[in-house]
Structure 1
Amino acid sequence: MSPEMVITIVQRAFEVMILLGGPMLLAGLLVGLMISVFQAATQINEATLSFIPKLLVTFLVAVLAGPWMLETIMDYTIRLYQSIPSMVG
């Protein structure tokens, strides 16, 4: 296995990781930003106020994007396993 193959595998793994984690993180970030603006406008400084909405939105995105995420990780895994013979030989 050449160093180029290893770099390609790791690069693809990072791409898949960003694709899978990105939607949930982005949704949590946007909800957190909106709640922070609301807290700043109303001067409510309660740390737990932002936790539940972020948790719910992250769960909702995971449920809605779950089939796509499962398909993406399965596709990556199948391609990785299918490329093993060409890496070894």
Structure 2
Amino acid sequence: MAPDAVVNAFSEALWLIVLMVCVIILPSLFVGLIVSVFQAATQINEQTLSFLPRLLATLIAVSVAGPWLVRRMMEHFNGILASIPGMLG
């Protein structure tokens, strides 16, 4: 088994993890930023006010991008399974 194959598979997995986290977390980050600006402008200091919009943004992001993320994960998994005989032999 060549070390470059392992490094390539590992780097693809890390890139997929970063992509999945960004797709799920970035909408929540932007909604939290908007709510924080609103709270600063109106001087409302309620910590629970930003929780529900961020939760809804995360749920919407998962429901919209979920099938695409699962498809990408399955493609990566199938690629790793297909490359196992080449790595062993």
* TM-score interval, smaller chain: over 0.9
State the TM-score, normalizing by the size of structure 1: 0.93
Deviation at 1:5, TM superposition (A): 1.8
- Structure 1 match to 2:71: 71
Letter in 1 for 2:45: N
User: Does the residue aligned with 1:36 lie in a helix, a strand or coil?
Assistant: helix
Unaligned regions of 5+ residues in structure 2, if any? Answer: none
5 Å-filtered alignment, 1:38-77, equals 38-77=38-77
Query: Structure 1 stretches (4+) deviating beyond 2 angstroms?
Result: none
User: Does the residue aligned with 1:45 lie in a helix, a strand or coil?
Assistant: coil
State the TM-score, normalizing by the size of structure 2: 0.93
Unaligned regions of 5+ residues in structure 1, if any? Answer: none
- Structure 2 match to 1:25: 25
Number of positions where the alignment pairs a residue of Structure 1 with one of Structure 2: 89
Question: Over the residues paired in the alignment, what is the CA RMSD in angstroms?
Answer: 0.9
Deviation at 1:2, TM superposition (A): 2.6
Aligned sequence identity (%): 44
- Structure 1 match to 2:12: 12
The Cα offsets for residues 37-84 of structure 1, whole Å up to 9 and x where unpaired, read as: 001111111111111110111001100111111111110100011000
